Amino acid sequence: MYTSDEQQSQSQTMYQPVNQEEIIVPLPALLHSRYSKMLMGMTGTSNTVHQTTTSTPHRPVLPPSRSDQLVNYDAEMPALKDAKAEAEREKHDRDKLDAEKKERRRVKELVRLQAEADKNARRTAKLKQKEEKQAKKEAHAEVVRLQLLVEAEAKLKRRQEKEQAKLELQKKTEADAMALLAAKVARRQEKRRVALEHERHLLIMEQRINSLDTIHAKDKGQIAKLEAQVKLMTKMIKQAVEEVQIIVHL
- By the 10 Å C-beta count (0-12 exposed, 13-18 middle, 19+ buried), 215 is classed as middle
Predicted confidence (pLDDT) at residue 54 exceeds the cutoff of 80: no
CA distances in angstroms from 18 to 15, 22, 94, 95, 249, listed in the order given: 9, 7, 11, 14, 137
Q: What is the pLDDT of residues 111-133, one digit of tens each?
A: 999 999 999 999 999 999 999 99
CA distances in angstroms from 112 to 1, 7, 102, 106, listed in the order given: 11, 11, 15, 10
Q: What is the pLDDT of residues 189-204, one digit of tens each?
A: 888 888 888 788 888 8
Task: Please name the residues in contact with 14: beta carbons below 8 A apart, sequence gap of 6 or more.
Answer: 101, 104, 105, 108
| Averaged pLDDT for residues 69-87 | 70
pLDDT bucket at 150, cuts 50 / 70 / 90: very high
What span, in angstroms and rounded, lies between the C-alpha atoms of 222 and 4? 157
pLDDT given for residue 11 in this prediction: 44
Q: Average the pLDDT over each of 19-28, 100-109, 193-202, 235-244 and give the range with the smallest value.
A: 19-28
Phi, psi (degrees; rounded to nearest 5) at 198 = -65, -40
The DSSP line for 204-232 is HHHHHHHHHHHHHHH-GGGHHHHHHHHHH
In the chain the first and final C-alpha atoms are separated, in Å, by: 117
